[in-house]
Chains A and B, each alone.
Chain A
Amino acid sequence: MSVTTEIQFQVASVEGAPEHAVEGRSQWQLTWRRLRSDKVAITSMVVIVVMVGLAIAAPAIAALVHHPANVAFPNTGENAVGNPVGPGTNGFWLGTDDTGRDLMVRIFYGARISLFVGVVTTVIGTIAGVTVGMVAGYFGGIIDTILARFTDAVLAFPYVVLALALAVVFGPSLSVIIGIISFFAWAGIARIVRGQTLSLKEKEYIEAARSLGAGPFRIMFIDILPNLLAPVLVLATLYIPAAVVFEATLSFLGLGIQPPTASWGNILAAAQPFYTVAWWYTVFPALALLITTLAFNLLGDGIRDAMDPTTERLLRARKRTKQPRRTKPLVLSEEIPGAALPPAAQ
């Protein structure tokens, strides 16, 4: 994936985060406290919650405006020439699409698909990726060689080609999309987890566990995994928007969710011929997409920053004392966020 290397650097800072505490506060409690004070992250969380809420409430909203998602209203929903009507006309809050369906309602139904796909593929990809990465990193040797090369091959493979091929063979559908996206998601996570595992493996407490007689799987899941959770969480949060974008792209190309089921991708695809006469048809779904992905990206970066407080403290100190610029600028989480881009955020 595009930024695996970069993320590797960035999550390394998370892995080494200090665990100081009083009264037995776990790493998670500390992270949460720091996150709470990060306004951007909180805003993003709120936005996500709202979006999820709207998605869940889509049928209710449809009932509210009396415009079911897949029902066309040629009379009120299209103008004289048969083109979509703009926002605010005839009770269509955001306007209509080319067959006179309520655009807003379709956008919220599309949110269901997008969020569902985003979360499910990320969950699958994370579980698979963590397992593969840990096994490859811990066992080493021939197992690692095979798994690592396979992971690299998947990462480098042009996703479009594979998506095309699979869409032809199996026909586009929700499960196919979930399969394709998960297939790429796990590779990026596996690569990073493998790297982390390789370095964790050398720690003395792992040797101690072996000397106690712990078996490899116990060591992996009880000793190594807790140390992986932090970077994996960051990764997963950043993968969700990439998956959403991936799905939108596939649907846009006609390889994904098929009409009449609404997906942001296929709405935008259908909006293409009308962009000169119905700007809302393109703008509103695109905005929904942008807001959602932006929120997840910002949240992911916020979580990452919350897990690595060292730089934050230094930054605050600098602001207070106005120190001259250091010759060794801080990298890693000092940077403002960017997303992990698994294969197809294009």
Chain B
Amino acid sequence: MTIVRFLIRRILTGIVVLWLVASGAFFLFFARPVATVARNLAGREATPAVINQVIKDLGLNQPIGVQYWHFLDRIAHFNLGHSYFTQESVNTIIRQDLPPTASVVIGGVILWLIVGLGIGILSATKARSVFDRLSTVGVLIGLSMPTFVIGEFLLLVVFVPLNQHGFHWIQDQYVGPSQGIITWAGHMILPWITLAAVQAAVYTRLMRGQLLSTLGEDYIRTARAKGLSERRVIFRHGVRSALTPVVSQLGVDMGQLLGGVVVVEVVFGLGGLGQVSVQAIQTEDLPVIIGFVLVAAAFVVIANIVVDLAYALLDPRVRIS
């Protein structure tokens, strides 16, 4: 199957998935007795008058099918409604708060992959050396710590002392890349490390294991016997085939990544989508929550498509199918 057909099929599937997710969210939130929903939305202290107003405004009295239809209609037009709390359009909120989230994700993923795979490869090639043992200990600690603990730890141990001693490059809070790449990186470096830490640990072990077993295969021995440089043997042959299960695992982990993003945003006060949605929970701001759910689902779908393309590229046995 060609790339175009593959893409078309995956995009269509993705739309179906999004539709399922949106419907799921809708029914989860709205398919309850009208009064309960209204009271939730109006806030715990609302008077009956306010509740009635809310019911009227949001059309909660209509049959659930009608509400559902309106909901889908709105979504299809990319109109995600308005925040109950701030009255802002959810689209605006998303647009505003996407950059921090995107910054964290992009940097974090790159860092996680480079560090994770890199240390994994090094550990495998130097199996049982001091480096390997140290990295194993590091991996173990990384695996045992929740992301937010790592974040707080970094704040405590890196950010605070550095700032106290006049070294101000590393900051918390978010600034965009428009303020200068160096500045941007300085603000983002700790969140990146935090996000990447746990995942890197996992991928280090995964890569190490895969590469070790691949390097034990006979065709590697043949390559060495042919006289190829060790570097070529390891990278062209070993890593390439060891990479495929890692890449396929990546698809599954895209979903997990979002959890880490939310935590990192909260710890470092980055004000991205994650943090906003957590606040939305506390205020029961449903449109924002639904908006975040949809964006998250869309991200996972797209990320999975990208990962599948990468997988097909790596493994010639898998042609896009």
Contact = CB atoms under 8 A, between A and B. Distances in A.
B146 A248 contact: yes
B144 A268 contact: no
A245 B146 CA distance: 6
Contact of B146 (A3, A6, A346): A346
A341 interface: yes
B259 A159 contact: yes
B146 A345 contact: yes
A320 interface: no
Contact of A160 (B140, B221, B259): B259
B72 interface: no
Interface stretch (B57-65, B87-95, B174-182, B194-202): B194-202
Nearest to B304: A156
A289 interface: yes
Contacts of B137: 336
A238 to B, nearest CB: 9
A254 B262 CA distance: 12
Nearest to B300: A158
Interface size class of B (residues with CB under 8 A): 35 or more
B296 interface: yes
Given A338-B205, A341-B202, A275 B156 contact: yes
A116 interface: no
A329 B258 contact: no
B208 to A, nearest CB: 7
A269 to B, nearest CB: 8
Contacts of A279: 156
A154 to B, nearest CB: 10
A185 to B, nearest CB: 14
Interface residues of A, number: 59
Interface string A221-252: 00000000000000000000100010011001
A113 interface: no
Contacts of B105: none
Interface string A128-142: 000000000000000
Interface in B185-212: 198-199, 201-202, 205-206, 208-209, 212
Interface stretch (A60-68, A165-173, A207-215): A165-173
**Helix, strand, loop or mixed for chain B's interface?**
helix
Interface in B140-183: 140-141, 143-149, 152-153, 155-156, 160
A35 interface: no
B147 A346 contact: yes
Contacts of A253: 262-263, 266, 278
Interface in B267-308: 267, 274, 277-278, 281-282, 284, 286, 289, 292-293, 296-297, 300, 304
Interface stretch (A78-86, A99-107, A290-298, A305-313): A290-298
**Helix, strand, loop or mixed for chain A's interface?**
helix
B253 interface: yes
A255 B199 contact: no
A332 interface: yes
B286 A168 contact: yes
A168 B252 contact: no
A282 B256 contact: no
B139 interface: yes
17 contacts: A3-B206, A155-B255, A156-B251, A156-B300, A158-B300, A161-B293, A252-B263, A275-B152, A275-B155, A275-B156, A279-B156, A286-B152, A331-B212, A335-B205, A335-B212, A344-B259, A345-B143
A33 interface: no
A189 to B, nearest CB: 15
Max count, chain A CB within 10 A of own CB: residue among B144, B149, B202, B267: B144
A128 B137 CA distance: 33
B256 A346 contact: yes
A329 B278 contact: no
A315 to B, nearest CB: 9
Closest 9 CB pairs of A and B: A328-B216, A158-B255, A346-B260, A293-B144, A346-B147, A160-B259, A336-B136, A158-B258, A245-B146
B248 interface: yes
B144 A343 contact: no
A254 B311 CA distance: 38
B140 A298 contact: yes
Given A2-B256, A161-B296, A335-B209, A168 B198 contact: no
Contact of A327 (B147, B199, B221, B249): B221
B190 to A, nearest CB: 13
Contacts of A160: 258-259, 262, 274, 296
A345 B208 CA distance: 21
Contact of A335 (B136, B160, B257, B259): B136
Interface string A270-294: 0110011001001100100110011
Contacts of B143: 297, 338-339, 341, 345
A205 interface: no
A5 interface: yes
Nearest to A294: B144
Contacts of B293: 161, 164-165
